[in-house]
Amino acid sequence: MVEIRKPIPVEKAIREVMNYASKGIVEEVPIENSHQRRLAQQVVATNNVPSFHKSPYDGFALRSIDTNEASLESPIEFEVVEHIGAGQVPTKKLHNNQATRIMTGAQIPEGADCVAMFEICKTYKKDDKTYVSLKRKMEMGQNIIKEGSEVVMGEVLIEKGTMITPGVIASLATFGYSSVKVAREPVIGIIATGTELLDVDEELRPGKIRNSNAYMISSQIERAGGTPKYLGKLADELESSYETIKEALEEVDHLVTTGGVSVGDFDLMPAIYEKLGAEVLFNKIAMRPGSVTTVAVLGNQLLFGLSGNPSACYVGGELFLRPIIQASQFSTTPYLKRIKATLADEFPKPNPFTRFVRCYVVYKDGKVYTKVAGIDKSNVVTSLAYSDCLMVLPGGTRGFKIGDEVEILLLNNYEGQQDFN
Amino acid sequence: MVEIRKPIPVEKAIREVMNYASKGIVEEVPIENSHQRRLAQQVVATNNVPSFHKSPYDGFALRSIDTNEASLESPIEFEVVEHIGAGQVPTKKLHNNQATRIMTGAQIPEGADCVAMFEICKTYKKDDKTYVSLKRKMEMGQNIIKEGSEVVMGEVLIEKGTMITPGVIASLATFGYSSVKVAREPVIGIIATGTELLDVDEELRPGKIRNSNAYMISSQIERAGGTPKYLGKLADELESSYETIKEALEEVDHLVTTGGVSVGDFDLMPAIYEKLGAEVLFNKIAMRPGSVTTVAVLGNQLLFGLSGNPSACYVGGELFLRPIIQASQFSTTPYLKRIKATLADEFPKPNPFTRFVRCYVVYKDGKVYTKVAGIDKSNVVTSLAYSDCLMVLPGGTRGFKIGDEVEILLLNNYEGQQDFN
């Protein structure tokens, strides 16, 4: 007799899995290795920016009070007492009618309270000294970037859990974070099950297919921020499969298996969960594809039993595994970013269950459209190659027309969102 | 006297640089290391998919002709002669009123031309043999996935230059690409110039700032698909800087320097280009920030002279360096993806020159909006951390209002586009 399973809504299934999201583990890496990791600490300003009054231009620093009488007819003359570039420290305090030649980014000398740009100054030599003359009045503070005007020391600049992008690295370097606390990447084991599976380098034989799911989910794990660990493939044989999975669990944080979760005669995962003593959270979800996606818990480890069908495996990985990986990296927005889009293709199939359709985003005239990947044929594997989002079609709908508003989940967006819905 | 430089339009500057884009170099990596690399080959179907007639369900394979008389009142009886799971090869040819118990994904036995799902079949034992009875007529081909119905052998599935995502890896594995030809990542050297620069692990001292540009551009190079090689920082001293840069060019494909390209008294890059015998393509661009961005050519190497100002450095890297890196990876769409968006903030500054404003994307109700990062303060470094696009404001405009249509360049989109505009 075929086992009858009761499907649960996908939102409920995700909540149940996320109840077991583990706290992140912190590790420290040199700043140059921090690209695309997630921050396990806040970035705090360790100094004012700028940390000194600074010139935004090449020009002459001087006292604005000395320019009060300056005009086209009667330029004021200043003696140039020093010449400093960025990184050089001014040594001379300015007194009346003295100026310092100063480069962009350099520190304003004591006494000066403004900078006159080169373009409005005239320099000349006289008695072996350098002078500059100015024909207009300057305001106090003019052309000076004040200490702390950009960032005040102690300010929290970037939150924990943020993905480290080039812009984040700029802040880290500016504030002296030569090593950075980042979230450890969880190690996710992968085991493919199915007697029909060949290794990727094997010749195709009758009745067999190559194992594509393990490599695909491995890449999904990398995209989500985890470290995949491929532990091989298993034939549909209970005892040896059980042993391999039991050993695998000692090497990884969580384990993904592909295949073997359905109710077919050779689907062994249910028996293996039982033998392991793992608690099955659910084994049937009211969604397509991936309705047989099963998640079980053993201690603090999650066992993701994904379908052997490529698109179901893909969807299961994105919906259940991705947020677990991201939450363990301190992300407060671990779920796929969901946005509204206009459907640019017919999708006439009725949806008794929530359906996740492989799609891609098209931007046009400021609007977001989505097109169904590979709608012209049932080519599952190739259409995955061109998908960058999943369209969510709610259960109980009768199909969708061109121009309908739909929701899509962005697969390559690392920002995410706080909740699944 | 300050040198007067003639600014060229940004589009022209980019075209001049891209004239020197070099062809990609191919290297081969194992499939498991191919995540996020770019294909240096087409992916071609090396077999039909499926490669045999296959069952989409658990059920019984049989001859549809035998079901012609089946009805609720008179079910037809079939002898079950074999039981095969996925990956097992059927050994028995079916004759009239014989059936094979078959699992999802398994090969259809010879003689059979349809599959009756479990749910509509009744199995029973009789005289030690297994039988199944069926109460409805089946069509020829019903519930059979035909060989080659998804992909036909020889079909080109994915083009050269495509980024390898999880979906692309699924295709690679399916078709036996255990090693994959990918584009070699160009090595981009980085040298920061400026006497004012401290190392990131140094204590702040008067007049100094920490070197943030080198780490930032390093991360930008990684995002674009290159391998950054940080070669240190230089004080503003001509002879030693020249020697270091000359040596650096022997270790890298192209070289980025930050700082020293302006017309200040300590800006040494122009003199170094001359001493190297490099041809300066331009040293002034009609854009903000980054107007002093300079690109020079020496043999087949490009020298990117980016500004020392963080946001100018960032913009210069995205506009000039990124497409060079991507083109050398066989991407036919090396330019930043440009889309239309609705401005969600005031940006009242007039733009005598094309301006690239640090922004981020907001999706709302199917439309793309853009907000200015850090508009409330002049905090350049921190606003970079929150930017995911650059808004392009054309020169000769008087500022923009909330609700205006603008164009944005997406920084984290790897798809890109064929032309800059």
The string of pLDDT tens digits covering residues B158-192 is 999 999 999 999 999 999 999 999 999 999 999 99
Q: What is the pLDDT of residues A149-186, one digit of tens each?
A: 889 999 999 999 999 999 999 999 999 999 999 999 99
Q: Select from A31, A167, A215 the Cβ nearest to the Cβ of B169.
A: A215
Tell which A residues from 235 to 254 touch B, by Cβ distance under 8 Å: 235-236
Q: Which amino acid is at B316?
A: G
Alpha carbon of residue A182 to chain centroid:
13
Averaged over B82-96, what is the pLDDT? Answer: 92
Cis peptide before A289 (omega within 30 of 0): yes
More confident residue, A4 or B368: B368
pLDDT at A417: 97
CB distance A169–B88 less than 8 Å? no
Least confident of A373-382, A398-407, B65-74: A373-382
Residue A6, chain B, CB below 8 Å: the answer is no
Averaged over A33-59, what is the pLDDT? Answer: 95
pLDDT at B244: 97
Residue span(s) of chain B under CATH 3.90.105.10 come to 28-49+151-183
More confident residue, B376 or B116: B116
CA-based nearest residue to B27, from B186, B259, B257: B186
Share of chain B above pLDDT 70, in %: 98
CATH 3.90.105.10 assigned to domain B28-49+151-183? The reply is yes
Q: Return the bridge partners of A391, or none.
A: A357, A408
Residue span(s) of chain A under CATH 2.40.340.10 come to 337-410
Residue B117, chain A, CB below 8 Å: the answer is no
What does the alpha-carbon distance between residue B397 and residue B203 come to, in Å, rounded to a whole number? 43
Contact list, B265 vs chain A (CB under 8 Å) = 58, 83, 85, 101, 103
pLDDT at A2: 56
Q: Check pLDDT > 90 for residue B410.
A: yes
Q: What is the pLDDT of residues A233-281, one digit of tens each?
A: 999 899 999 999 999 999 999 999 999 988 777 789 999 999 999 999 9
Task: Say whether B31 sits in a helix, a strand or coil.
Answer: helix
CA-based nearest residue to B311, from B370, B254, B372, B269: B372
Q: What is the pLDDT of residues B317-347, one digit of tens each?
A: 999 999 999 999 999 999 999 999 999 999 9
Q: What is the pLDDT of residues B18-61, one digit of tens each?
A: 999 998 999 999 999 999 999 999 999 999 999 999 998 899 99
Residue span(s) of chain A under CATH 3.40.980.10 come to 10-25+184-327
What does the alpha-carbon distance between residue B168 and residue A314 come to, in Å, rounded to a whole number? 12
Residue B207: which pLDDT band, with cuts at 50, 70 and 90? confident
Which helix (H) or strand (E) element contains residue B77? strand B76-84
Q: Return the bridge partners of B17, or none.
A: none
Residue B44, chain A, CB below 8 Å: the answer is no
What CATH number does domain B10-25+185-327 carry, 3.40.980.10, 3.50.50.60, 3.30.200.20, 3.40.50.1000?
Answer: 3.40.980.10
What number does CATH give the domain A59-134?
2.170.190.11
Least confident of A168-177, B67-76, B79-88, B410-419: B79-88
pLDDT at A414: 92
More confident residue, B374 or B253: B253
Residues B99 and B80 sit within 8 Å (Cβ to Cβ) = yes
Q: Select from A171, A175, A223 the Cβ nearest to the Cβ of B166.
A: A223
∠ CA A96-A100-A103, nearest 5°, is 150
Q: Check pLDDT > 80 for residue A376.
A: no
Residue B86, chain A, CB below 8 Å: the answer is yes
As a whole number of Å, the CA-based R_g of chain B is 32
pLDDT at A88: 87
Residue A212: which pLDDT band, with cuts at 50, 70 and 90? very high
Q: Check pLDDT > 60 for residue B16.
A: yes
Q: Check pLDDT > 90 for residue B213.
A: yes
Contact list, B359 vs chain A (CB under 8 Å) = none
Q: Check pLDDT > 90 for residue A221.
A: yes
CA-based nearest residue to A167, from B359, B247, B191: B359
Which one of B209, B306, B358 makes the best mutation probe of the A interface by having the most chain A beta carbons within 10 Å? B209
pLDDT at A1: 47
∠ CA A165-A168-A172, nearest 5°, is 130
What does the alpha-carbon distance between residue A233 and residue A248 come to, in Å, rounded to a whole number? 12
Tell which B residues from 267 to 296 touch A, by Cβ distance under 8 Å: none
What does the alpha-carbon distance between residue B410 and residue B359 come to, in Å, rounded to a whole number? 10
CATH class of A10-25+184-327: alpha beta
Q: What is the pLDDT of residues A282-295, one digit of tens each?
A: 999 999 999 999 99
pLDDT at B376: 53
pLDDT at B98: 97
Q: Check pLDDT > 80 for residue B311.
A: yes
Alpha carbon of residue B283 to chain centroid:
30
pLDDT at B265: 75
CB distance B215–A170 less than 8 Å? yes
Crossing angle between the packed helical segments A166-174 and B213-224, to the nearest 10 degrees: 160
Q: Check pLDDT > 70 for residue A377.
A: no
Residue span(s) of chain B under CATH 3.40.980.10 come to 10-25+185-327
Averaged over B204-224, what is the pLDDT? Answer: 95
Least confident of A4-8, A112-116, A414-418: A4-8
Residue A385, chain B, CB below 8 Å: the answer is yes
Q: What is the mean pLDDT of chain B?
A: 94
Q: Check pLDDT > 80 for residue A3.
A: no
∠ CA B193-B197-B203, nearest 5°, is 160
Residue B263: which pLDDT band, with cuts at 50, 70 and 90? confident
Averaged over A364-385, what is the pLDDT? Answer: 83
Averaged over B378-393, what is the pLDDT? Answer: 86
CB distance B170–A215 less than 8 Å? yes
The nearest CA of chain A is from the CA of B267 a distance in Å of 10
CATH 3.40.395.10 assigned to domain A28-49+156-183? The reply is no
pLDDT at A375: 65
Residue span(s) of chain A under CATH 3.90.105.10 come to 28-49+156-183
pLDDT at B379: 58
Homologous superfamily, domain A337-410:
MoeA, C-terminal, domain IV (2.40.340.10)
Averaged over A390-406, what is the pLDDT? Answer: 95
Contact list, A162 vs chain B (CB under 8 Å) = 385
Contact list, A125 vs chain B (CB under 8 Å) = none
What does the alpha-carbon distance between residue B180 and residue A404 come to, in Å, rounded to a whole number? 40
Q: Residue B246 CB: number of other CB atoms within 10 A? A: 13
Residue B120, chain A, CB below 8 Å: the answer is no
Residue A308: which pLDDT band, with cuts at 50, 70 and 90? very high
Averaged over B95-122, what is the pLDDT? Answer: 94
For CA atoms B86, B87, B91, B95, give the dihedral sign. positive
CB distance B200–A210 less than 8 Å? no
pLDDT at B5: 87
